[in-house]
Amino acid sequence: MEDWYDHPQYFDMVFRNETAAEIAFFAAAFDRFADGPVRSVLEPGCGSGRLVAAMAARGYQVTGLDLSQSMLDYLDRRLRRRGLQADLVLGDMTEMVFDRPFDAAFCTFNTFRHLIQEQDAISHLKSVAECVRPGGLYLLGFHLIPMDADPECIERWQASHGGTKVNVTLRVIDFDRRKRQEMLRVSIKAQKRSGKVDRIRSEFPLRIYTPAQAKQLLKKVDDLFEIRSIHDFDYDIDETRDFDNDLTDALFVLKRR
């Protein structure tokens, strides 16, 4: 078994079907909620860079930041193959420093929940606020866990691209509401066109947020960000959600004050 962070191509395949909808939502949110045009954007925790590449292809000035050098190396090769440009930075999303402000930032699909400690989450939000100009946006998406959630959750899905088929199993192997942490195991079986099979397994913790806990967190930075709109992972700009106990797939449009 190998770690999936050392195989960014599979990491990327798992989520590639979401990319078009996310990018369309970003553009619509920029037009609807940002003060002034959005040209420069930042993705903290960019991973394999599917969103960095897609935004660069749309003509945005993109910066991607991540702690994984293997992910950034993969993204660099991808950008070169496509003739695209972006600034790639090896760094910590809790203490980002740039020499110019961005018009917007985005961090979706649970990357934020890798910040296990409350203070790290707050430091991240404050760091983003320092990186985004007033009137700019931060699009933040992560799953919320209702109080009646099943701690024995298992999800399975498939993906394919370029002759490679990937089967993914996501399993919660530990769940602790008191510590506000769940441990996930991701198992991947990737079969290439040649017949070669890669088997990959990763285990990692994520911070747990109920809707009430997410609301409390964002309240702590409401001097920096205003919640302009709430959506879910359908990425429909015209369909908004209430900040209540039914909200599980949360996508927040935060506006820098």
Residue 74 to residues 7, 69, 71, 77, 81, Cα–Cα distance (Å): 9, 9, 5, 5, 11
The torsion region of residue 13 among left (phi > 0), alpha (psi -120 to 50) and beta comes to alpha
Indicate the pTM of the whole model. 0.95
Q: What is the pLDDT of residues 212-239, one digit of tens each?
A: 999 999 999 999 999 999 999 999 999 9
197, 191 contact by CB (below 8 A): yes
Percent of the chain whose pLDDT exceeds 70: 98
- Residue 55 CA to residue 39 CA, distance in Å, equals 10
Question: What's the one-letter identity of residue 191?
Answer: Q
The CATH number of 4-145+209-256 is 3.40.50.150
Quote the pLDDT of residue 15: 80
- Residue 135 CA to residue 67 CA, distance in Å, equals 28
> Given a cut of 70, is residue 201 above it in pLDDT?
yes
pLDDT band at 148 (very low <50, low <70, confident <90, very high): confident
> Given a cut of 80, is residue 94 above it in pLDDT?
yes
Q: What is the pLDDT of residues 64-76, one digit of tens each?
A: 999 989 889 999 9
Q: What is the pLDDT of residues 97-112, one digit of tens each?
A: 999 999 999 999 899 9
Structure tokens at 49: 């860079």
The closest of 106, 50, 97, 105 to 75, measured between CA atoms, is: 50
Structure tokens at 255: 């506006």
CATH topology of domain 154-207: N-terminal domain of TfIIb (2.20.25)
Identify which has the larger pLDDT, 151 or 108: 108
- Residue 160 CA to residue 147 CA, distance in Å, equals 35
Dihedral sign (CA 94, 142, 162, 196) = positive
The closest of 171, 163, 161, 206 to 11, measured between CA atoms, is: 161
Provide the terminal-to-terminal Cα distance of the chain, rounded to the nearest Å.
47
Quote the pLDDT of residue 9: 82
Q: What is the pLDDT of residues 103-146, one digit of tens each?
A: 999 999 899 999 999 999 999 999 999 999 999 999 999 999 98
List the chain domain ranges: 4-145+209-256, 154-207
Structure tokens at 176: 């602790």
Burial label, 116 (beta-carbon count in 10 A; 0-12, 13-18, 19+): middle
129, 256 contact by CB (below 8 A): yes
Quote the pLDDT of residue 2: 63
The closest of 22, 241, 61 to 139, measured between CA atoms, is: 22
> Given a cut of 60, is residue 1 above it in pLDDT?
no
